[in-house]
Amino acid sequence: MPGSVSPTSDDLGLPVPVPPAVGRVVSLVPSLTESVAATAPGLLVGATDWCTHPADLDVARVGGTKNPRVADVLDLRPDVVVANDEENRSADLDALRAAGVAVWVTAPATVPAAIESLDRMLRLGCRLDRPPWLDEAAQTWSRTDTTTTRTALVPIWRKPWMALGRDTFAGDVLARLGVANVLRTNAERYPRIDLGALPPYDLVVLPDEPYAFSPDDGPDAFSGKEWRCVSGRHLTWYGPSLAEARDVLHEQLYS
C-alpha cells in the first residue's frame, strides 16, 4: 500500500529529488505517457514500446514496462522518470535512482486516488500546471452512481485464466458504474482462476487489454453467460481517457 506522502514524495511516500525546472521526462507507463503528452507537448523524450497515445507521439522508445532498457533511459538524460508501482519492476526503478535520476512512482487503486495522483505527479513531479482535462475528469466522476446492478467476472488474461481481484483501479471504475467485481474479496489482486469454481456472477466483462479479448476470443469460454467487450484503455488507464471513460464504458456495458 502507498505510504504517507508529503509535497515532495510520490505515491509510495518516497522522497523524489525533482529539480526546480523539468525539461526532459521519460515515461514507463502508457497512461502516464498520455497524461504528460496531453499536458505539455514536447516534455517527453522517451516512452515504452507500448505507449500508443497520443497516436502521433514521436519520442525515443526504451523497451517494455516490465523490461525497460535502463541504459537507454539514462542516455536520454531525463530530469524525471514517471512510473507505476504495479506496472514497473522495483529493480529497474532502483537502478535509475542509483544513477541519480528522480523517479516518481504512482500507485492509485481508486478513481479519486488516480485523480489526486495525477495532479501530484504533474504539478510536483513534472513542475506543470494542473491541466483542464484533469478537472474535466474529476467533474465527470463526481456524478457517478455507485448503486450495484450487476456482478461480473473480469478476465484479464487467458492461458492461464486470470481476473481482477481485490483493490484494483479497474474494479473501482466498474463499481462506480454499478458493476461489482465477483472476486473483489479475493486475497490476490490478479488471481489465476478456475472457470468451473467461481462464485455466482451474471456478467463477463472482457477488456481488450492487457489480453486482447474480442467477440471472437473470450466469450466462447462462457457459454450461457452474458458478456460485454469493453475498451481496456478506458477501464484500466488513468489519464486523459478518464474524462470520457465513464460515458464510453457505460455505453459498452449497458447498451
Segments making up each domain of the chain, as ranges: 25-130, 150-254
Give the pLDDT band of residue 143 (cuts 50, 70, 90): confident
d(CA 240, CA 64): 21
The tens digit of pLDDT for each residue in 30-50 reads 999 999 999 999 999 999 999
> 25-130 — its CATH code?
3.40.50.1980
Q: Do domains 25-130 and 150-254 have the same CATH topology?
A: yes
d(CA 9, CA 238): 20
The tens digit of pLDDT for each residue in 51-79 reads 999 999 999 999 999 999 999 999 999 99
Give the pLDDT band of residue 1 (cuts 50, 70, 90): very low
- CB of 240 closer than 8 Å to CB of 35: yes
pTM of the model: 0.92
The tens digit of pLDDT for each residue in 180-213 reads 999 999 999 999 999 999 999 999 999 999 999 9
Give the pLDDT band of residue 5 (cuts 50, 70, 90): low
**Considering only the top CATH level, what class is 150-254?**
alpha beta
- CB of 117 closer than 8 Å to CB of 238: yes
- The neighbouring-strand residues paired with 183 are none
Coil, helix or strand at residue 93: helix
